[in-house]
Amino acid sequence: MVRVLRMALLVLALAACSLTMTSCGEDPVNETNFAQLKVGMSLYEVETIMGGAGEREETPTGMSISGAGIAGAASNKVERYIWRSGPAMISVEVRDGKVASLGRVGF
């Protein structure tokens, strides 16, 4: 009976791994995952596909000119998240919580 239970648990674990492409050690930086990413997705959706959070970079975008003529960075920020694996990389730019652009290198 114990052996049957162990076998059933093993089958369930393997089934769970097959449900998500990035689980169980599969490299998330691949063509299949990149093809699932779309402009307008939430960061949460991207992280679900990629199997976790990427490396975050934050950069101010644009310039603003004050009434006194002083230039400064606009408050509108773009967050860039990067997932790397060897020479391959997927980058996602997020603005206001939604994917604004996607990029890939190395595959």
The CB-based long-range contact list for 94-100 (8 Å cut-off, 24+ gap) reads 94/43, 94/46, 97/42, 97/43, 98/39, 98/40, 98/41, 98/42, 98/43, 99/37, 99/38, 99/39, 99/40, 99/41, 99/42, 99/43, 99/46, 100/39
Q: Which residue has the tokens 């990029």?
A: 103
Look at residue 8 and tell me if it is in a domain: no
In a domain, 99, yes or no: yes
| Share of the chain residues as helix, strand and coil, in percent rounded to the nearest 5 | 30, 35, 35
Q: How confident is the model at residue 71 (pLDDT cuts 50, 70, 90)?
A: low
Q: Is residue 20 part of a domain?
A: no
Span 29-60, pLDDT tens digits: 999 999 999 999 999 999 999 999 999 986 65
Residue 9 falls inside a structural domain: no
State percent of the chain over pLDDT 90. 51
What domain range is 93 assigned to? Answer: 27-105
**Any idea what the CATH number is for the domain that residue 36 is in?**
3.30.1450.10
Please state the pTM of the whole predicted model: 0.62
Structure confidence at residue 21 as a pLDDT band (50, 70, 90)? very low
pLDDT of residue 15: 60
